[in-house]
């Protein structure tokens, strides 16, 4: 459960978002303007602020600016019906995690919220670990665990940090790919320069070119002044392209040129500008499969894949699970204002045996649930989810008609959706892009639904 503040000057939108996020299990408060939002932010710790950009005669950017200044760990997502490149870039430069245009699809918004909270949880987890294990060399302490695969990641980071070679970080959602990118930046001689991260799958297609490469004044409607892109903002630091596999084809061509020639051209500009930033890209998709399917350029793939670092999923580093469990127990117990509980032997065994398709985020959720439901100084297995205890109830036949006694409609629809998702993955042998096409969904929407139900690919 996260503490979320929704800020919008339209009451109907505030109420809609409040109901939507409460259904996801979050604690939600609302405000209609800058003054109320900042008062709420000063009164209680917030995990996430979801704010409209235009609040009557006020600007949501002021909320973004003051919230990030007072609490850098609080994530901020901006909403607006008036998407322009200027305010998109300005919001990102001020520290916004993401930027969503209205009208939005509910699934898309929930995925952005999930990613923002996941990002906050991973950074918080790393801060706790650094405090516990003591100081290490810059950046090395951000990659956690002692499994051989994790040690190999640290070894590769040490080898590539000093160079300018493009690095591709791969791994499932929630494994800590951005942590690897930040460690590469921190370990190299660029550590004093900017580290600029951009989620290529979260920016509207019409804005992403200007976001990356900038634009000249008058390049399009609303471009009232010249704006640098993130390649320029990164300077001689590091530009982290998360979810690079989501880039549309025309942007793949321009990114390839930037990597090959170390030059960019702003939207509406005539002059080439040299760029010095090192590019680290990340993806949770198989770019090789995307190349075969014709959705990703082969030449760009080889340009990005000069050095590949794979962040292993939690199921491949089970020996690290007790370390993370210990840290999450301490963290959630402290947040709940109780003594850190211990684990019954069977509880520890079940936690160690689970596959964690959601990786660290799923483990954190399981431990938070256990701390909340567990009574006494020792947490027993009954505080774990039923599926983890092996007590998952077999799927009952879904009624085609409304039974005389009625039914729980939401639970019924959830069960139908889950079953269809599992069938689509089984039919496509776990290829999510094909499953999304089979269900007439965007890849991002499918990914959100799989995360929602905790479904792992077969």
Q: Determine, yes or no, domain membership for 391.
A: no
Q: Does residue 394 sit in helix, strand or coil? A: coil
Q: What number is the average pLDDT over the span 318-329?
A: 89
331 plus 419 within the same structural domain: no
Determine the Cα–Cα distance for residues 259 and 168; give it in Å rounded to an integer: 13
Signed CA dihedral, 394, 395, 397, 398: sign only: positive
363 plus 377 within the same structural domain: yes
Average pLDDT score over the chain:
84
Q: What number is the average pLDDT over the span 65-75?
A: 82
Chosen domain end from 260, 295, 312: 312
429 plus 362 within the same structural domain: no
Q: What number is the average pLDDT over the span 398-408?
A: 65
pLDDT score at 46: 87
Quickly state the pLDDT bin for 228 (edges 50, 70, 90): confident
Quickly state the pLDDT bin for 456 (edges 50, 70, 90): low
50 plus 164 within the same structural domain: no
Q: What are the structure tokens assigned to 445, written together? A: 């929407």
Lowest mean pLDDT among 11-15, 61-65, 66-70, 90-94: 90-94
Buried b / exposed e over 117-138, threshold 16 CB at 10 Å, is bbbbbbbebbebbeeeeeeeee
pLDDT score at 309: 96
Which residue in this structure is represented by tokens 């409609």? Answer: 409
Q: Does residue 85 sit in helix, strand or coil? A: helix
145 plus 282 within the same structural domain: yes
Q: Does residue 136 sit in helix, strand or coil? A: coil
Q: Determine, yes or no, domain membership for 395.
A: no
Lowest mean pLDDT among 2-16, 30-44, 211-225, 246-260: 211-225
297 plus 319 within the same structural domain: no
Phi, psi torsion values for 235, nearest 5 degrees: 60, -130
DSSP letters spanning 23-84: HTT-EEEEESSHHHHHHHHHHS--SEEEEESEETTEEHHHHHHHHHHH-TTSEEEEEESS--
340 plus 249 within the same structural domain: no
Determine the Cα–Cα distance for residues 7 and 17; give it in Å rounded to an integer: 10
Lowest mean pLDDT among 124-138, 320-334, 372-386: 124-138
Q: Residue 258: is its pLDDT beyond 90?
A: yes
Number of domains comprising the chain? 4
Quickly state the pLDDT bin for 310 (edges 50, 70, 90): very high
pLDDT score at 123: 67
CATH number, position 443: 1.10.10
pLDDT score at 325: 92
Name every residue whose Cβ is closer than 8 Å to that of residue 8 and which is 6 or more positions away in sequence.
14, 17, 30, 32, 51, 52, 55, 79
Quickly state the pLDDT bin for 401 (edges 50, 70, 90): low
Quickly state the pLDDT bin for 455 (edges 50, 70, 90): confident
Lowest mean pLDDT among 121-130, 283-292, 419-428: 121-130
Q: Determine, yes or no, domain membership for 121.
A: no
Nearest CA to 280 among 192, 173, 182?
Answer: 182
* Residue 408 burial by Cβ neighbours in a 10 Å radius (0-12, 13-18, 19+): exposed
Q: Determine, yes or no, domain membership for 458.
A: no
CATH number, position 40: 3.40.50.2300
Q: What are the structure tokens assigned to 386, written together? A: 């039923």
- Angle between helix axes 85-93 and 60-70 (nearest 10 degrees) is 10
pTM: 0.56
Q: Residue 130: is its pLDDT beyond 60?
A: no
349 plus 296 within the same structural domain: no
328 plus 300 within the same structural domain: no
pLDDT score at 181: 94
64 plus 99 within the same structural domain: yes
Q: Determine, yes or no, domain membership for 30.
A: yes
Determine the Cα–Cα distance for residues 8 and 453; give it in Å rounded to an integer: 29
| Domain of residue 205, residue span | 138-312
């Amino acid at each position: 459960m996260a503490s979320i503040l929704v800020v919008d000057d339209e009451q109907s939108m505030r109420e809609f978002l409040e109901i939507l996020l409460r259904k996801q299990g979050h604690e939600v408060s609302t405000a209609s303007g800058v003054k109320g939002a900042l008062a709420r932010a000063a009164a209680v710790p917030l995990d996430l602020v979801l704010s409209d950009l235009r609040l009557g005669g006020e600007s949501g950017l002021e909320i973004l600016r003051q919230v990030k200044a007072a609490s850098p760990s609080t994530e901020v997502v901006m909403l607006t019906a008036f998407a322009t490149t200027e305010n998109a870039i300005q919001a990102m430069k001020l520290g916004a995690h993401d930027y969503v245009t209205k009208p939005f699809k509910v699934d898309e918004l929930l995925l952005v919220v999930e990613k923002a909270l996941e990002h906050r949880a991973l950074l918080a987890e790393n801060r706790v670990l650094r405090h516990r294990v003591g100081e290490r060399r810059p950046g090395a302490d951000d990659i956690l665990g002692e499994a051989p695969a994790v040690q190999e990641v640290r070894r590769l980071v040490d080898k590539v940090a000093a160079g300018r070679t493009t690095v591709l970080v791969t791994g499932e959602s929630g494994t800590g790919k951005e942590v690897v990118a930040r460690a590469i930046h921190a370990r190299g001689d660029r550590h004093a320069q900017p580290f600029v991260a951009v989620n290529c799958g979260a920016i509207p297609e019409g804005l992403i070119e200007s976001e990356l490469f900038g634009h000249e004044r008058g390049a399009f409607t609303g471009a009232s002044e010249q704006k640098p892109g993130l390649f320029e903002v990164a300077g001689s630091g590091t530009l982290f392209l998360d979810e690079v596999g989501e880039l549309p084809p025309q942007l793949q061509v321009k990114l390839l040129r930037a990597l090959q020639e170390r030059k960019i051209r702003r939207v509406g500009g005539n002059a080439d500008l040299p760029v010095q930033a090192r590019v680290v890209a990340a993806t949770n998709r198989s770019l090789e499969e995307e190349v075969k399917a014709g959705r990703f350029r082969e030449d760009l793939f080889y340009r990005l894949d000069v050095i590949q670092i794979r962040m292993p999923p939690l199921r491949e580093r089970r020996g690290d699970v007790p370390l993370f469990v210990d840290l999450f127990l301490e963290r959630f117990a402290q947040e709940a204002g109780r003594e850190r509980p211990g684990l019954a032997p069977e509880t520890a065994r079940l936690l160690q045996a689970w596959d964690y398709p959601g990786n660290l985020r799923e483990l954190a959720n399981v431990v938070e649930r256990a701390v909340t439901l567990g009574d006494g100084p020792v947490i027993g297995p009954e505080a774990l989810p039923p599926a983890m205890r092996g007590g998952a109830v077999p799927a009952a036949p879904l009624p085609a008609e409304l039974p005389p006694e009625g039914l729980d409609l939401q639970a019924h629809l959830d069960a139908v959706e889950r079953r269809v998702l599992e069938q689509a993955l089984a039919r496509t042998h776990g290829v999510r892009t094909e499953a999304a096409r089979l269900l007439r969904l965007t890849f991002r929407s499918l990914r959100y639904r799989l995360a929602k139900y905790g479904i792992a690919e077969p």
